[in-house]
Structure 1
Amino acid sequence: MVDLQLALNGDTTHPAMPRTADEIARDAAACVAAGATLLHLHAFDDDGDESLAAGPVGRMLRAVRATCPGIPVNVTTFAAIVPDPRERLDLVSSWTELPDLVAANQGEAGIDDVSEVLARRGVGIEACLLSGSDADRFVRAGRHERFVRVVVEPLVEDVDDALALDAELESTLDAAGVTLPQLHHGIGAASWQVSRRALARGHAIRTGLEDTSVLEDGTAATSNRQLAAAAAAMVSGGAPAAR
């Protein structure tokens, strides 16, 4: 089975993006019903700001697990939310409710410490690669068995550039003999072609309002559930070779 991860929220202003724990839980359940097998989430505090604090993260996880039992939940550790590495480490160390997985951007300062602390507590770590330098760093570091999967993220809007970066990052992993499962996603309109390329190569994919606000035909997406259904149809129907 090819996994479909839904990235429900984050740094986006889409009116349908969920922020409160209850909103996230309802949206997550709708996406799972539409075909999502994995969830990637950002917690928000009472002011509506993204947060890595134990309170918002715990509330969100409890709510989502109540509506989506058995679905692996991944939580961000994005440095843009808390730029100071020491403060970010202190916050994730204080978590009392633990996610199944976290996304660990390999190019961010302090990410090794964050990953180590959470891995010791039984949290799975996704190694996220956004650039060639991220991929090179990941390959050089070795000990790839520490990670659950590699997330390949060519985050550029131009379709050709996104596909080229996606291929470059995958090639670096292949050349180094990295055999971890891969999940690929892009942003904007390019996200759909990145997904098609990934599916053609047997990889998992991701969509959601964090990544794109448009469907493959360019029309505006109204909800995470709509994006989930479109991506699930792509998964079940197979993907023609990307251009």
Structure 2
Amino acid sequence: MSQAQPVRPRLQAALNGDRDHPAAPRTPRDIAAQARAAVTAGARSLHLHPYDDDGQQTFAAEPCAATLLAVPAACPGIPISLSTSADVEPDSRRRMALVEAWTELPDLVTANQGEVGIVELCEFLATRGIGIEAGLLSLDDARRFIAAGIAPRCVRAMVEPLDADPEDAFAQAQAIEQALAEAGISLEQVHHGDGIASWAANRRAIPRGHGIRTGLEDTPLLPDGRTAKGNGDLVAAAASMLGWPDGSKRPESFP
């Protein structure tokens, strides 16, 4: 873990996921290089998906450890969040076994609240001192999260509507935020979406005081519709939206 000090989040970079893009990094070395570019552009937290030698996303201990050693070496002090998505391992028991075998630990994980076995996974990770980012992809996810009662074990809520249409993504984010507020959940929030709609989610979040996320996992497109060359371009665009065009107003890292 990077042992970064907690401050309010503003900008997280999601470096890869399953995005089909020439710059989407897969190896520890490439992930570290893209991480460095994202941090240079303004990211103050990193979310990533380790890959195995066959180019497949994995929770296996060895490739996760290799990535978790490479990225902090390139970006010291920057908190790292790993995926725990069921898209990587659909079998919840198998996922738990793989995560239990981790030898290097991330600062954070993103845990999608609509998945089978996610509450048990969150409870286990919390015992290991790993921060939980509660992934809320829909209003139903938010309702499940509220009902589960695990908000006190989480460090923030990731409001991440997957709607392709920007207006729909905007409305979904609004509904999720309202549900959390009505439930009395005051966790910090980081907002993003998918594709070009991700920028709509970002724009809505900024004046409301929330953090935002961008990167090749979320979108290959810049706000004007051009294809980004890499994570650095996307983070620079998000930093500009936040008012950091020259980097002079960037905050410190957040866990």
Scaled by the length of structure 1, what TM-score is found? 0.96
Q: Does 1:23 align with 2:30?
A: yes
1:63 equivalent among 67, 70, 79: 70
Asked if the contact 1:31–1:228 (Cα under 8 Å) also holds between the matched residues in 2, the reply is: yes
Instruction: Give the C-alpha shift of residue 214 in structure 1.
Output: 0.6
Q: Does 1:89 align with 2:96?
A: yes
Aligned to 2:161: 154
Instruction: Give the C-alpha shift of residue 223 in structure 1.
Output: 0.7
Asked if the contact 1:31–1:225 (Cα under 8 Å) also holds between the matched residues in 2, the reply is: yes
2:134 equivalent among 96, 106, 127: 127
2:196 equivalent among 157, 169, 189: 189
Aligned to 1:100: 107
- CA–CA separation in structure 2 for the residues paired with 1:227 and 1:157: 18
Aligned to 1:12: 19
Q: Does 1:205 align with 2:217?
A: no
* Count of residues paired in the alignment: 238
Instruction: Give the C-alpha shift of residue 237 in structure 1.
Output: 5.7
* Greater relative contact order (Cα < 8 A, sep 6+): 2
> Helix, strand or coil for the counterpart of 1:65?
helix
Q: Does 1:40 align with 2:47?
A: yes
Instruction: Give the C-alpha shift of residue 2 in structure 1.
Output: 4.7
1:168 equivalent among 133, 157, 175: 175
- CA–CA separation in structure 2 for the residues paired with 1:3 and 1:55: 31
* Equivalent AA in structure 2 for residue 169 of structure 1: I
Instruction: Give the C-alpha shift of residue 144 in structure 1.
Output: 1.6
**1:82/1:143 Cα in 2 relative to 1: closer, same or farther (>3 Å)?**
closer
Aligned to 1:177: 184
- CA–CA separation in structure 2 for the residues paired with 1:2 and 1:133: 25
* Equivalent AA in structure 2 for residue 191 of structure 1: S
- CA–CA separation in structure 1 for the residues paired with 2:154 and 2:213: 18
Instruction: Give the C-alpha shift of residue 12 in structure 1.
Output: 1.2
> Helix, strand or coil for the counterpart of 2:157?
strand
Instruction: Give the C-alpha shift of residue 128 in structure 1.
Output: 0.7
Q: Percent identity?
A: 55
1:214 equivalent among 206, 221, 225: 221
**1:125/1:231 Cα in 2 relative to 1: closer, same or farther (>3 Å)?**
same
- CA–CA separation in structure 2 for the residues paired with 1:223 and 1:190: 18
* Equivalent AA in structure 2 for residue 109 of structure 1: V
Instruction: Give the C-alpha shift of residue 146 in structure 1.
Output: 0.5
- What stretches of structure 1 move > 4 A for 4+ residues in a row? none
Q: Does 1:54 align with 2:61?
A: yes
Asked if the contact 1:186–1:194 (Cα under 8 Å) also holds between the matched residues in 2, the reply is: yes
Aligned to 1:136: 143
Partner deviation per Cα, 1:89-140 (whole Å, 9 max, x = no partner) = 0000000000000000000001112111111011001111111111111112
Asked if the contact 2:119–2:148 (Cα under 8 Å) also holds between the matched residues in 1, the reply is: no
Asked if the contact 2:15–2:216 (Cα under 8 Å) also holds between the matched residues in 1, the reply is: yes
Asked if the contact 2:11–2:45 (Cα under 8 Å) also holds between the matched residues in 1, the reply is: yes
Aligned to 1:75: 82
Asked if the contact 1:2–1:235 (Cα under 8 Å) also holds between the matched residues in 2, the reply is: no
Please provide the CA RMSD for this pair.
1.2
Aligned to 2:240: 233
* Equivalent AA in structure 2 for residue 53 of structure 1: A
Asked if the contact 2:112–2:137 (Cα under 8 Å) also holds between the matched residues in 1, the reply is: yes
